[in-house]
Amino acid sequence: MSDEALLEIQRCDVETDRLNHRRLNMDQRGALEAALAERAEQQVEIDTVAAARVEVASRQRRFEDEAQIVSAKADADDSRLYSGEVQGIKDLEALQHEIAGLRARQGGLEDQALEAMEEAEELAGRVTTLEDARVDVDTRISTLEMEITTAEAEIDVEIDLMSIARAVAVESVDPALVERYERLHPGMGAATVVRFDGSNCSGCPSVMPAMEVDRVKHEASGSVLECSECGRMVLR
Ligand SMILES: [Zn+2]
């Protein structure tokens, strides 16, 4: 009976390794990593657009303020023109010329303010698009995190069951054999304990020498031997 329990210990270890591998390498982890990278990239873009919006808003304000100053100056000149305080033809012409120049400058500044406003609108549109995209990626991230937590919990239940089954199996095996198995298992993995197939150890590619086969055949059924070729634990 003890030989079967040794195989059960091995089965539990192999299954536990497989479960741990599945836990570490589930598809959602890769997808989550990609989604987190996408969010980080989005954040950079959001920050860039936010900085551009601040710059554009202050530019718009500056042009509007300057246009207002120039407009006030032109208005003041207009008043002087019609107040009668400027009399000479030459002076009047000079004043008119100055007013025309100021109005032209005011128009230019207003155009630039308008341009900045259009830029601001375009940036606001980009912010909306980026925010929608962020909501989308945030949703994907929380869904993936939930899926991972659920899958981990399911796998952990299976790992616990394997650990219980292994503990039960260990109870019925000679502690010296368990110790030998545990020493060999890291290097030999799923084929640490193998069955004697009647003429070979079934774990290694070497053919057992006839004398060795003869020796194994004469051992009691159920005994645990060592393959002289590979060192595996061979169940007679
Ligand atoms: Zn062998």
In this predicted model, what pLDDT tens digit does every residue of 182-195 receive, in sequence order? 999 999 999 999 99
- Pair (203, 135) in one structural domain: no
Mean pLDDT (whole number) for 15-23: 97
Instruction: Give the long-range contacts of residues 153-159, CB within 8 A, separation 24 or more.
Output: 155/19, 155/22, 155/23, 156/23, 158/15, 158/19, 159/16, 159/19, 159/20, 159/23
* pLDDT given for residue 89 in this prediction: 93
**How many angstroms separate the CA atoms of 113 and 66, rounded?**
10
Look at residue 163 and tell me whether its pLDDT is greater than 50.
yes
In the chain, the number of structural domains is 2
Tokens coding 173: 């095996």
- Pair (22, 60) in one structural domain: yes
Mean pLDDT (whole number) for 132-161: 98
Where is pLDDT greater, at 218 or 179? Answer: 179
* pLDDT given for residue 211 in this prediction: 85
- Ligand 1 center from residue 171 Cα (angstroms): 27
* pLDDT given for residue 10 in this prediction: 97
Look at residue 148 and tell me whether its pLDDT is greater than 90.
yes
- Ligand 1 center from residue 90 Cα (angstroms): 118
- Ligand 1 center from residue 211 Cα (angstroms): 14
- Ligand 1 center from residue 230 Cα (angstroms): 4
- Pair (220, 230) in one structural domain: yes
| Domain termination site, one of 172, 206, 228 | 172
- Ligand 1 center from residue 144 Cα (angstroms): 45
- Pair (190, 233) in one structural domain: yes
- Ligand 1 center from residue 166 Cα (angstroms): 25
* pLDDT given for residue 2 in this prediction: 56
* pLDDT given for residue 189 in this prediction: 93
- Pair (31, 50) in one structural domain: yes
| Domain termination site, one of 141, 172, 203 | 172
| Domain termination site, one of 152, 172, 192 | 172
* pLDDT given for residue 11 in this prediction: 97
**How many angstroms separate the CA atoms of 232 and 73, rounded?**
101
Residue 114, domain extent: 2-172
- Ligand 1 center from residue 221 Cα (angstroms): 18
Look at residue 26 and tell me whether its pLDDT is greater than 90.
yes
Is residue 1 very low, low, confident or very high in pLDDT (cuts 50, 70, 90)? Answer: very low
* pLDDT given for residue 212 in this prediction: 84
- Pair (68, 94) in one structural domain: yes
* Ordered strands of the 233-235 beta sheet: 193-195, 233-235, 224-226
- Pair (157, 220) in one structural domain: no
* pLDDT given for residue 217 in this prediction: 86
Residue 111 host element (H or E):
helix 89-171
The CATH number given to whatever domain includes residue 113 is: 1.10.287.1490
126 contacts 56 by C-beta, under 8 angstroms: no
**How many angstroms separate the CA atoms of 184 and 178, rounded?**
10
- Ligand 1 center from residue 213 Cα (angstroms): 11
- Ligand 1 center from residue 135 Cα (angstroms): 59
- Ligand 1 center from residue 197 Cα (angstroms): 11
Per-residue burial over 184-195, b = 16 or more CB atoms within 10 Å of its CB, e = otherwise: bbeebeebbbbe
Residue with tokens 């194994």: 216
Model pTM? 0.73
- Pair (12, 36) in one structural domain: yes
- Ligand 1 center from residue 87 Cα (angstroms): 122
Task: Identify residue 83 by its one-letter amino acid code.
Answer: S
- Pair (153, 178) in one structural domain: no
Mean pLDDT (whole number) for 87-101: 95
Least confident of 25-29, 35-39, 151-155, 202-206: 202-206
- Ligand 1 center from residue 154 Cα (angstroms): 37
- Pair (92, 178) in one structural domain: no
* pLDDT given for residue 134 in this prediction: 96
- Pair (144, 215) in one structural domain: no
- Pair (138, 178) in one structural domain: no
Mean pLDDT (whole number) for 128-151: 97
Mean pLDDT (whole number) for 134-148: 98
179 contacts 210 by C-beta, under 8 angstroms: no
- Ligand 1 center from residue 9 Cα (angstroms): 19
- Ligand 1 center from residue 180 Cα (angstroms): 15
